[in-house]
Amino acid sequence: MTATAITPRKHHLLKSIGEIVGIILLVAAAKTAIAEPFYVPSGSMEPTLLIGDELLATKYPYGYNTSSLPAFVVLPTTERFLGALPKRGDVVVFRWPGDRSQTWVKRVIGLPGDRIALHDGRVSINGEPLDVRPDGTGRSEIEGGSRIPAARFIETLPGNREHEIFKLTANNPLDNIPETVVPPDHLFVMGDNRDNSADSRVPVREGGVGMLPVADLVGRVDGIVGSWDLGMESQPLWTWPSGFRLSRFFSAVH
């Protein structure tokens, strides 16, 4: 059987296809090894993160496993390579233990072995209540784009890491949690909008996070690359550009 010669046109086509495949593989590798963008659909992390923020989660701080793959790839968890624990106060993206095709974002409050409790909404770590001081009021976005008043506070974690939190009500069922020990290879995570967050205070079977397995970590949120006010969807199309929150573009997350 004689071989069929590849014409210049076919050679050019094959080269173009190869370049496209190479670009796709390069992007996938970058999203796996370096960073991946994520969109914020809820207000559970207000005031730190707003609905409509576009986040950039860096992958390398906590090492790599199957959770580090692009979000649309869902595989059973594996051991982490170059693994490292987050620090208290890190804002992290993770695969929700209840459905690993979903990615959520919360703040790390407790590390393995920490004793975590809440009394009247105040967090205690290893028997020491966190310092919380009032910081005026803010506006929390709820469904439909409307906003309600929220008391704002500055919470200080061990190591003097400060962040803002919202409290919508004085009394919430999740304000009092008996002391519990964070198991090995797990984390205690919370949303900064304390009355609007299904986090480690809520078991997975009830729609929360429960104790988050370290194996489900995707990456650390270091910055916001863009933001658009979703409330503008109900406005005329020509007004939509005014919904871009330019002050949040390429801003750091603390």
pLDDT in tens, 71-121: 888 999 998 988 899 999 999 999 999 999 999 999 999 999 999 999 999
pLDDT interval class at 253 (50, 70, 90): very high
Annotated catalytic residue: which of 44, 140, 200, 227?
A: 44
Q: What's residue 8's pLDDT?
A: 58
44 pLDDT band (50/70/90 cuts)?
very high
Q: Give the per-residue pLDDT at 70.
A: 87
On the 0-12 / 13-18 / 19+ scale of CB atoms within 10 A, 187 is buried
Secondary structure element (H or E) that encloses residue 31, with its range: helix 8-33
What is the separation, in whole angstroms, between the first and last Cα of the chain? 67
Contact present, 176 and 192 (Cβ < 8 Å):
no
At residue 28, the pLDDT reads: 46
Q: How confident is the model at residue 158 (pLDDT cuts 50, 70, 90)?
A: very high
How many Cα atoms sit within 13 Å of 103 on the Cβ side?
A: 24
pLDDT at 223: 94
Three-state DSSP at 44 gives coil
Cβ neighbours around 162 below 10 Å, total: 13
Is-catalytic flag, 106? yes
Q: What is the mean pLDDT of the chain?
A: 88
Extract the tokens encoding 78: 């594996």
Pairing of strands 251-252, 35-39: unpaired
pLDDT number for residue 20: 45
Percent of the chain scored above 90 by pLDDT?
69
- Given a cut of 60, whether residue 173 has pLDDT beyond it is yes
Round to whole Å and give the CA distance between 222 and 35: 10
Annotated catalytic residue: which of 31, 59, 106, 167?
A: 106
Compute the average pLDDT of residues 190-205.
Answer: 97
| Better-predicted residue by pLDDT, 143 or 206 | 206
The neighbour count for residue 208, using CB atoms within 10 Å, is 18
pLDDT at residue 144 greater than cutoff 80? no
Q: Mention every residue, 6+ apart, whose C-beta is less than 8 A from residue 112.
A: 85, 182, 183, 184, 185, 186, 187, 214
**41-65 core/surface letters (b: 16 or more CB in 10 A; e: else):** ebbbbbbbbbbbbbbbbbbebbbbb
Residue 202: predicted pLDDT: 98
